[in-house]
């Protein structure tokens, strides 16, 4: 696969739950080194798109290609082993485990102790507060700190692409700013990111490219900063 080709390509995806289709012919692509944001109103199908990509849902039509390999409908654990990390919404941590134990759970597929230690070091460099709190039980941390644990855990497998579903949901303004700063920092250290985000203005501001979904269909796409100033996008989705 050429460096210019997409790392992730989802084409003509129609998918849903039971007999109800939520997505209708959706297409998305992510190139190496990009931040790609997916925005749209509630019920647009943003989270369903991510669930289809990582294998929780099998699409009725279309295909998902990751790193040159067709992964359509592949079991989620096999998708993750191929280097696609997923941070679901809701800051899911193991509350009775320490921060360090939570992070080590993220590296469960890594058998090499030296590589696991190197992964931990990378996470602690990106999130110094997690190093300071490494012995603290994750369940006693604030929402923003738990979100950092969830993001750090996803980095433990050296992922080629990280999907983040609503990383700023329910966080205080201070932590919203911090999380978006960390996403930019992750990109600058070489990670490729795709996020679904209710905070559309922030998501577009950091995105190389973005997609707007509406009622399970592609509505707009383009460079994040172009969509941020697009009058139609502003009127419909940014409260402008």
CATH code of the domain covering residue 139:
3.40.50.300
Does residue 120 have a pLDDT over 60? yes
Predicted pLDDT at 205: 96
Residue 111 is part of which domain span? 8-237
Averaged pLDDT, 75-90: 90
**216 and 23 Cβ atoms separated by less than 8 Å:** yes
Predicted pLDDT at 31: 97
Domain for residue 132, yes or no? yes
Domain for residue 2, yes or no? no
Predicted pLDDT at 4: 59
Domain for residue 3, yes or no? no
CA-closest candidate to residue 212, choices 12, 39, 49:
39
Averaged pLDDT, 198-207: 95
Averaged pLDDT, 101-121: 85
Predicted pLDDT at 108: 73
Strands of the 20-30 sheet, one edge to the other: 20-30, 8-17, 61-66, 69-70
**In this structure, are strands 35-39 and 193-196 parallel, antiparallel, or unpaired?**
parallel
Does residue 151 have a pLDDT over 70? yes
The chain-wide mean pLDDT, for the chain, equals 92
Domain for residue 129, yes or no? yes
Domain for residue 1, yes or no? no
Domain for residue 121, yes or no? yes
Averaged pLDDT, 65-82: 92
> What gap in Å lies between CA 224 and CA 228, rounded to an integer?
6
Counting the structural domains of the chain, the total is 1
């Amino acid at each position: 696969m050429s460096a210019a080709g997409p790392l992730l390509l989802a084409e003509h995806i129609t998918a849903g739950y039971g007999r109800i289709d939520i997505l209708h012919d959706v297409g998305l692509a992510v190139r190496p080194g990009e931040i790609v944001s997916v925005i749209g109103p509630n019920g647009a199908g943003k989270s369903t798109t991510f669930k289809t990509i990582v294998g929780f849902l099998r699409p009725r039509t279309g295909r998902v290609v990751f790193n040159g390999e067709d992964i359509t409908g592949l079991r989620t654990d096999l998708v993750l082993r191929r280097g696609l990390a997923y941070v679901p919404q809701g800051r899911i941590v193991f509350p009775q485990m320490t921060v360090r134990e939570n992070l080590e759970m993220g590296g469960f597929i890594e058998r090499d102790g030296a590589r696991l230690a190197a992964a931990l070091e990378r996470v602690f460099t990106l999130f110094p507060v997690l190093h300071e709190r490494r012995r603290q039980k994750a369940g006693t941390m604030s929402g923003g700190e738990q979100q950092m644990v969830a993001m750090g855990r996803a980095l433990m497998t050296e992922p080629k692409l990280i999907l983040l579903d609503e990383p700023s949901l329910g966080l205080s303004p201070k932590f919203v700013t911090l999380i978006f700063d960390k996403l930019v920092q992750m990109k600058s250290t070489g990670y490729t990111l795709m996020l679904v985000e209710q905070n559309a203005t922030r998501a577009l501001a950091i995105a190389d490219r973005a997609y707007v979904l509406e009622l399970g269909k592609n509505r707009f796409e383009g460079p994040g900063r172009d969509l941020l100033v697009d009058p139609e996008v502003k009127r419909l989705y940014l409260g402008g």
